[in-house]
Amino acid sequence: MSPLAIPFFLELLLGTPAAGPPPAAAAPTAPVEDGVEYPLGWMGIPDLSAPAEPFKLVDLRYRVTDTERTTHAFAARVKVRNRGYLGASFEGERREISWTSQRLELQANGEEGVYGFFGSYRAPRFILSAAAQTGGSAEGSGWLLTPSLSVRLSPGLEVFAWAQGNTREPDDRFLRAASLGFLWQRGVGFEAAGEIGRTYQVVEAGFENERDWGVLSAVGQVGGAEITGEAWVEDVDGRFPRREEGGSAQARVRLAARLLAEGGARVHFEDGAGLRAHEYRGAVTWFGRRLTLPRSGEAAARAQELARRATARGANERIAFTDRDRRAQRERLSLSRDSEDFREAVADLHRAQVAERNVPLLGLEFLDAEDALPGVTTRAARAFVGVPWPPACPWQANDAAVPFLRLDVSWLRRTSGVDFEAVTWASSLSVALNREMDLVLSWSRSDPSALDLIRGVGQRRTIELAYVYAFGR
Amino acid sequence: MRRRRGSRASDGRPPEPGRRRFLRLTAGVGLALGTGCSTGGEGRPGSPTATGAVPPAGSADDTAVRVPKVNGGINVHPLRRLGSDPNEQDIVIEPELVALQSRAVYELGFDGLRITAPLVDRGSFLAAIPYVRAARALGIDAVVVLADFAGLYLAQALHERERREEVLQLYATVFATPPEPVQPGVGSVGPRAVGRVAFEILNEPTHFLGVPPGVYVHEFLAPCFTWLKAVNPAVIVVSAAEVGNLDGPARVRAMLEAGLESVTDRVNYHIYSRAAIPLLSANVRQIVWITESGAAGTALHLPWVRDTFPDILEQIGDATRIFYYDLYDPDPGVYRLLDIRADGATYVAVAESAALYDFLADKVAVAAAGRPLLAFDTLVPDIRAYFPTEADVRAYDAVRGT
């Protein structure tokens, strides 16, 4: 089915005009201010609080993947008047429907006899959630239940707890896991999170491991650098007790107005055995205009302002730093009874986000990793070249530029066993038609690993074509 | 990381002129063997006589007894000739070489022999046969490792159901059929009172083949165990170990958590690092064999066996047997106990790791308590009695192809 046929199909089903602009002609709706020029034309800042009449298409994704077989994935989401967002998707055998309003989130999915349900209610001071899953080899006719509660103690501090129970009561124990944690957003420049928990895990051999674990992470903006760190520890008690520790550190440093360097390391130790796994990576990226890190700049400041203001009005929102989280937050606040009060702040954040868009033009990344448990060593290199809109040479800076074309090429070599090497080559060509619409064509060829050869699996070639439309992105 | 072990003996020398091809020899053919073992040949460390039944060690009279089995197990490579073979179709197995290694195993008081029978390598597969049969006939247990020295051929065959049954049937027919004992009352608990046979399913599968621990248990060991126990319950199934350095214990633990103990008769460890010993759990609910353990460097051999072996047995309570690595391999000064060289028309063995050799021999002498010991050549007058038969070759060729 052509993705363009979906709005028309919806129109046919619902007897109303398909909501929103057809993707091929996704003209900006009610630009807030002067927009930015994209290959498909100018786009301003849409008003998400405008009600749908009664539906408006806000998400449309279609992907076809061809390997040994062809798999189609489709997802669509519509805004229903001013009440919420209704979504449906399928990918292969998986089906999912969802409903999202400002305070309520519901979801149901199923795949080959395994069914999952999720519900969440966002109150002014807490978020109460519950997930349930049944079917499949793990749960059989029983249910795996996962309730969670997050309580906001202050605008920047949340504490949360979750637990998991299994009605089949493996090892005569309903409770399978529980944890307690916190998230502290001290403005945009620093964020810390921590969590401790216990998990009762029945291994395939049939005995139980009691795993006590804790993790502490922090991310901060220090001058022109973003520093991220994480440390964790796990103590396993059971027939084969052990203690494992690990951590990661990453730095993103703006070396010049248009040059970003990134480096990171991830390690995993086991007491007595030393380093069990590691991953080291480094990357440099050249941009077509001045780059902005997520926790610096005007958008970050406005994100904090919006979150604090929304929380003060009972919306219970965190500071959002990614485009995806900010879009979800915009959608929720647009459904709020106080949406009119948030309208300007929402638009200001969106405008700042668009103004600070990053336009990567050239990039190079290297990765070295090893995991002693499966005995796999990985080396990888990735490179990309981007063409901005309007087209310009990489050395020319243009503050009006937006991402347009991007060609990625990657090489990855996994070595397992004694010198059995499996190389994967992959490339993709992405076309950003405007801020809301992308086309991606990907290709990859993977050599079989030693285990693949043993199992009779040969070389794999994958071709993938994807179309994405995301209103208000 | 240790270098890949188990490569065939090959020093680049051409085969000795005048040596005959012996593959077609069958049991009962008499041929005097050269006594080329420089370690003393028959009679050492005692002075055995060559007559009469074999009373167990510990008898109070002066009757010759078999060599006491007091030194655990030993890894032996399926050595069949020194130098390359220009005619792989007409396999050469030098009786002197087989006798030389088998004699050392017997005279040094080992109770088990571990040998690889690689399916992909016709010569080594067939050469493993006399080592296994002679050892079992002497009352020595034989662990046959189902593994190739290189490549994925055997692993692929064991993974695919139809080929798996065909391959396991070949191993069961060729190696699990008990030989006649060298003499009655040889003192073993195996069928016909000969040494038992054990099949080890692959060798260090993660390290050599890139097979993750859980996959090994579910897709290789479990189906092989089920088939072998159904066809021949007397066969001991030994799980593969993982590397003997600090990478190994986590992999073995992952196997155990994947259900290893329920699909094996022996849990298997390799230990080449003292630091790995405390990481290998004593909580295994199965008998543990350490089928490889040794130290790189000849000077370290004796301290390793004298001091580390007791530590292993003490710290891993379920461990009942350790196989020293190894009797002979082509790399001097690393792991091997003996060097084997051509000497005119025959071969000689030299105790390269002399201190360890003497240590092992002394333990045998102490256990013998001055009683005369039956010589290897008395018990095995012709090693060719254990050589592969035409039926063995046909069975192999039917599975592997020529």
Average pLDDT over chain B, rounded to whole? 85
Residue B92 has pLDDT above 80, yes or no: yes
Tokens 């890949």: give the residue: B4
Decide if B209 and A204 are in contact by the 8 Å CB cutoff.
no
What count of other Cβ atoms lies within 10 Å of the Cβ of residue A206?
A: 12
Q: What is the 3-state secondary structure (H, E, C) of A184-218?
A: EEECCCEEEEEEEEEEEEECCCCCEEEEEEEEEEE
Q: For A315-401, where are the alpha helices, taking DSSP H only?
A: 323-334, 339-355
DSSP state of B172: I
Tokens 């650098």: give the residue: A225
Nearest to A204 among B206, B250, B259 (CB): B259
Q: Does A240 touch chain B (CB under 8 A)?
A: yes
Decide if B210 and A417 are in contact by the 8 Å CB cutoff.
yes
Decide if B253 and A417 are in contact by the 8 Å CB cutoff.
no
- Mutate one of A236, A451, A452 to test the B interface: name it (highest B CB count within 10 A): A451
Residue B25 has pLDDT above 90, yes or no: no
Q: Does A137 touch chain B (CB under 8 A)?
A: no
Decide if A205 and B259 are in contact by the 8 Å CB cutoff.
yes
- Tell me the chain B residues in contact with residue A272 when contact means C-beta distances shorter than 8 Å: 246, 275, 278-279
Q: Does A15 touch chain B (CB under 8 A)?
A: no
For B231-285, what is each residue's pLDDT tens digit? 999 999 999 999 999 999 999 999 999 999 999 999 999 999 999 999 997 788 8
Report the SS3 class of residue A439: strand
Average pLDDT over residues B380-395: 96
Residue of A nearest to B273 (CA): A273
How close B224 comes to chain A (CA, Å)?
15
Instruction: Supply the pLDDT for residue B55.
Output: 44
Nearest to B206 among A205, A374, A449 (CB): A374
Residues 267-326 of B with CB under 8 A from A: 275, 278-279, 281, 283
Q: Which regions of chain A are under pLDDT 50?
A: 1-32
DSSP state of B18: T
Residues 135-164 of B with CB under 8 A from A: 152, 155-156, 159-160
Instruction: Supply the pLDDT for residue B187.
Output: 59
Report the SS3 class of residue B243: coil
Average pLDDT over residues B306-310: 97
Average pLDDT over residues B9-38: 33
- Tell me the chain B residues in contact with residue A456 when contact means C-beta distances shorter than 8 Å: 156, 159-160
| DSSP run (H or E) holding A108 | strand A104-111
- The pTM score is 0.86
pLDDT band, residue B190 (cuts 50/70/90):
low
Nearest to B208 among A204, A239, A417 (CB): A417
Q: Does B69 touch chain A (CB under 8 A)?
A: no
DSSP string across B61-77: SSS-BPPP--S-EEE--
Instruction: Supply the pLDDT for residue B191.
Output: 63
Instruction: Supply the pLDDT for residue B234.
Output: 94
ipTM: 0.86
Residues 198-237 of A with CB under 8 A from B: 203-206, 209
Interface A–B counts its CB contacts (< 8 A) at 91
For B325-375, what is each residue's pLDDT tens digit? 999 999 999 999 999 999 888 899 999 999 999 999 999 999 999 999 999
Q: Which residues are paired to A86 by β-bridges?
A: A78, A99
Cis check for the bond before B372: say yes or no (omega within 30 of 0). no
pLDDT band, residue B185 (cuts 50/70/90):
low
